[in-house]
Structure formats: structure tokens, C-alpha cells
Structure 1
């Protein structure tokens, strides 16, 4: 870990969230010493020495310490690196939502097995359009909620950090890909979406340090608007 980082790029203590100069000192390859936080006097980031599966389990358990490690010390949210991460995460997010929508529509589509190639192409473009529009609405409502409900001062960098954290915390959508291999009931999609919502709440709390109820309200409103946007074409047909 290099010293002399700027304020935006400085790592954070996973316990209290305060910025620290460095997370560890490396004496030789494989020989490091974890540094303590000046504020809480605990090891700043013990996850540095943990296996990936341990970190993943703590993320699934919604531990704020694990989210601070992932967002601040691993993904470097708030640094000059997060712009590329944000664009890649949004792209993956839209693709996974398109897959979810296609799975949700699968039951009705299977009733008509004799679809033409043109119909299939139209279906795919429609699904991608729904996913894109749904995500635009989701991000708009999220940022509006952050601005007017959480009353976060308008700063394009801070808003980008919040958006990056929420999109990255939707990682559980990756489990939808298992539906390509194993068959799950449609209720599995609902369970994944609930988990994504709760994960977004934790990430938003970590980034903004606002009360849980406020973060739940913002994330719930964004997800509800997204869901209604995706469902609207089905209700109008």
C-alpha cells in the first residue's frame, strides 16, 4: 500500500469508516503487518488476510465491515479508478436485468414455440429496451432520493460514488445465471430481487452514513419505480 494518497483515494477502516493512511506495511513478499486505525484502535482492515469465500459470506450476511472493505479498499470507490468500474458495472447490471426479464417472460413465451426468427429478434430487442429503460428510471429515482430524501449536497463526484456503490452491491444478480444450468421456480427471481434490495440499502448506508429507514425508503422507491417500468408493457398488451 502506497503512502501519500489523496483524500479521495485514501483507504478506510472497516470498523469505524474513518480514513487511514495505509492498511498494511509489507516487509517482504508474504510478510505484512496490518495497521491499526487511529480512531477506533482496531485493525483497519482484517479482510486483507481473508480468503475470498470468507469475504463473500460476510457480504451475503450484510456485514457493513465487509461492504466497507469491498467498496473503499478493494473497488476504491471515490478514487480516479471508479469511473471505469461504474460503466462496466452498469453494463453488467443491464445485461443481468435483461436476462431476468427474459426468464420472467419465459413462461408465456414457451406457450408459443413456433416463433419466427424475426419475432425472436424483436423479443430480444424488447427485453433489452425494457431493461435499459428500467435502469434509467432506477438510477434517476435513486439519485433524486439521495438528493431530496437524504438531502445529500449536490456533488457530481459524491453522486457517482453512491451510484457505483449501489450498482456494485447488486452483485447477487449474478446468481440468476445459475438458471441457465438448473431449473428454479419463478419465486427464486423474487428472492434474488429482495436480497439485492437489502444489499443496496447496506451499501447506501455505508456510503452516506444516513439512518437505515431513510436508505430503505430511497432504495425501495427506486426498485418499485423500476419494477413498474418493466411491468408496464405487459399490462398494456
Structure 2
């Protein structure tokens, strides 16, 4: 049986509008159910290819293609599945980023005494770092959504689904999970690894925007760059506040 039968009950498939992973044309179904549980993948009327070849693929292969930022894999995840873990993934990624900042903050304070490690874990610094990471992510998403709303929704007169875009942005931040092993397996090239992880996350964000809007790479890159600029401004503002949050955490 095809994998999509596990993702969508039959009654849900009747109500959804799917997208062809090859040409982005809409489709009313991913497969057709014949008698005796015989399923046949639906062929796209536009490109004459399977609407979604990934419904037969193993999840590991889908994940690998998503890591490679393949457009087809992103369309499958964002349009043709009922994956609804973006808020949970967002919180987990924020925890990863907060742990990275917290560990770097205590990099010069590391002690071999287990009591010190236990004491550090009870401090509020970690939660403060989580709040800063959440604030910066909020600034990034709001700036990206505002830019796309202004350009696509207002100037070009296109239809913009902000909720779907936000879901895509949050799901495409999955690369932040790599921050944990980068910190645990610390080595001389950690700054380079962290930079590459950041670049990978931004690339995934850009690809997610392209898939949702079916737009040019230039537009998605501009949106991501504006988001990074806003995120950086918020981070710098937090450092230069009269009652600097980070200084309060380190005191």
C-alpha cells in the first residue's frame, strides 16, 4: 500500500487540493483506490508525470532529498502531507539554539566539579537565552512575511497565504537541530560548522519560500536577507539596551 494512505484518510483526500511535485499544478488526488486495495498513482494532466512520486518513497529518502533542498521534496512536505509539527519543531530548534548560546556563555567557566555543572543547569541564563532566540526568530519571520505581503500581496496583486508561509518557514528551520552535535563534538572548526549550519538554514528558508509562492530565487533571497537584517538588528538592540538583557544574565 502506498505511503500516502497513512498520511491521508480517504475522507481527507476528497477535501484537499494537492500540488504536482514536478510542475506545481494543482491536483485533486494523489492516488486512485480501485477494488481489492489496488492503488494507482495519479498522473498529472500538465506534465504527464506522477503527481507525487514521494508517496511510495521511504521517509529516509524524503528526508535526504529535503536536506539537499530539492524542490520536489519540499512540495511533497509542504503541500501533500498533513505534517503539522512546525510549532513543536520551532520550540525544539529554539532549545537547541538556546543551549548553544548557553554553552558558549559558559565556555570560559567550565569546571571539572560536577557540582558546578549542576549549579549552572539551575540558573536562569538558559531560559534567558531561549527568550532571546525566540525574539530574534520572531523578528526574522515577521520581517519576511511583511516583505512578501508588501511585494506579492500589495504590489503584484497576488494571493498570499501567511499561515502557510509561516508553517513553511518554521519547518525549514530544521537544520538548527545540528547545533547540538556541533557543540557536543567541539573541535577547532566549530565556528566554521556553526556558520555552515546557519547558511544551510537560510538556504532551506529561501527554498521553502520559493516553493510556497512558486517565485523566483531572487525574491526569496531578498526576503531572507531582510529577515536576517531584522534579526541582527534585534540582537544588537538587546545588547545595547540600558539594562542589557545579556548583561543581566551574565551578572
Give the TM bin, normalised by the shorter chain.
0.7 to 0.9
Residue 163 of structure 1: how far off its partner (Å): 0.6
Q: Do the aligned partners of residues 29 and 180 (structure 1) sit closer, same or farther apart at CA in structure 2, a change above 3 Å counting?
A: farther
Contact 2:90 2:173 in 1 (8 A): no
1:13 paired with 2:15, answer: no
Match of 2:42 in 1: 35
Structure 1 segment 1-237 matched on structure 2, within 5 A: 2=10, 5-6=14-15, 9-27=16-34, 31-75=38-82, 82=84, 85-110=85-110, 117=119, 121-151=123-153, 158-179=161-182, 181-184=184-187, 185-230=190-235, 232-233=237-238, 237=247
Aligned-partner Cα distance in 2 for 1:137–1:46: 36
TM-score by length of 1: 0.80
| Larger Rg over CA atoms | 2
1:186 is paired with a residue whose SS is: helix
Residue 73 of structure 1: how far off its partner (Å): 0.9
**Structure 1 gap ranges (5+):** 77-81
1:217 is paired with a residue whose SS is: helix
TM-score by length of 2: 0.76
Match of 2:5 in 1: none
Structure 1 stretch 92-101 or stretch 35-44: which is displaced more?
92-101
Count of residue pairs the alignment pairs up: 227
**Structure 2 gap ranges (5+):** 1-7
